């Protein structure tokens, strides 16, 4: 681990991280959240991050739009492909958003040693992600989408639909 990443992750008190996020981005970050300050982290004004949420952007770009609400105990980790969350979106508590996936195609090498891929994850504007959802690497969620609680999203989702399930499927089209 690089020294600067170590310092950002372990030596900056969380209340100072909250203050820096407010002064730099006008974002409200709970002092009980774990936000990794990085040049790859871009918060927009009005972002609100709840308690016990972990935000990691040491490897890939993490761009969070205007007035995005992130509930308590969420985990968002941006790898090389990055994560982009559109304006006015809401993410329910205990949800996970990832932008990498372990390779697993070879049987002679442990999965841990096969490396990772990172396609990136995109979430449109005005999206509501319910509690306990998992958004996997490569997911592209259109604008105006509602993701029902407990859903697992892994592919392309069109605009203005309601999805649910594992894997998430369209159950209703919003008009």
Per-residue pLDDT of the chain (175 residues; tens, 9 = 90+): 677 777 666 677 888 889 999 999 999 999 999 999 989 999 999 999 999 999 999 889 999 999 999 999 999 999 999 999 999 999 999 999 999 999 999 999 999 999 999 999 999 999 999 999 999 999 999 999 999 999 999 999 999 999 999 999 999 999 8
- Residue 48 forms beta bridges with which residues? 28, 69
Long-range contacts of the stretch 62-65 (C-beta < 8 A, 24+): 65/89, 65/125
Hey, is 4 helix, strand or coil?
helix
Pick the CATH number of 3-166 from 3.40.50.2000, 2.160.10.10, 2.130.10.10, 1.10.3720.10: 2.160.10.10
pLDDT for res 64: 97
pLDDT for res 15: 86
pLDDT for res 2: 73
Identify whether the C-beta of residue 78 lies closer than 8 Å to the C-beta of residue 99: yes
Cα within 13 Å of Cα(60), Cβ side: 20
Q: Which two tokens stand for residue 95?
A: 């949800």
Hey, is 166 helix, strand or coil?
coil
pTM: 0.90
pLDDT for res 175: 87
**Mean pLDDT rounded to a whole number for the chain:** 93
pLDDT for res 50: 96
pLDDT for res 9: 67
Identify whether the C-beta of residue 29 lies closer than 8 Å to the C-beta of residue 49: yes
């Amino acid at each position: 681990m690089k020294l600067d990443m170590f310092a950002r992750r372990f030596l900056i008190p969380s209340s100072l991280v909250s203050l820096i996020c407010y002064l730099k981005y006008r974002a409200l970050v709970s002092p009980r959240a774990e936000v990794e300050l990085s040049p790859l982290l871009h918060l927009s004004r009005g972002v609100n991050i709840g308690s016990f949420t972990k935000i990691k952007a040491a490897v890939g770009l993490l761009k969070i739009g205007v007035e995005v609400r992130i509930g308590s105990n969420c985990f968002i980790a941006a790898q090389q492909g990055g994560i982009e969350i559109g304006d006015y979106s809401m993410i329910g508590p205990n949800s996970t958003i990832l932008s990498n996936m372990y390779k697993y195609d070879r049987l002679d090498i442990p999965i841990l040693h096969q490396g990772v891929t990172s396609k990136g994850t995109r979430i449109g504007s005005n999206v509501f992600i319910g509690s306990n959802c998992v958004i996997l690497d490569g997911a592209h969620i259109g604008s105006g989408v509602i993701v029902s609680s407990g859903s697992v999203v892994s592919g392309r989702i069109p605009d203005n639909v309601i999805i649910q399930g594992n894997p998430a499927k369209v159950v209703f089209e919003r008009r």
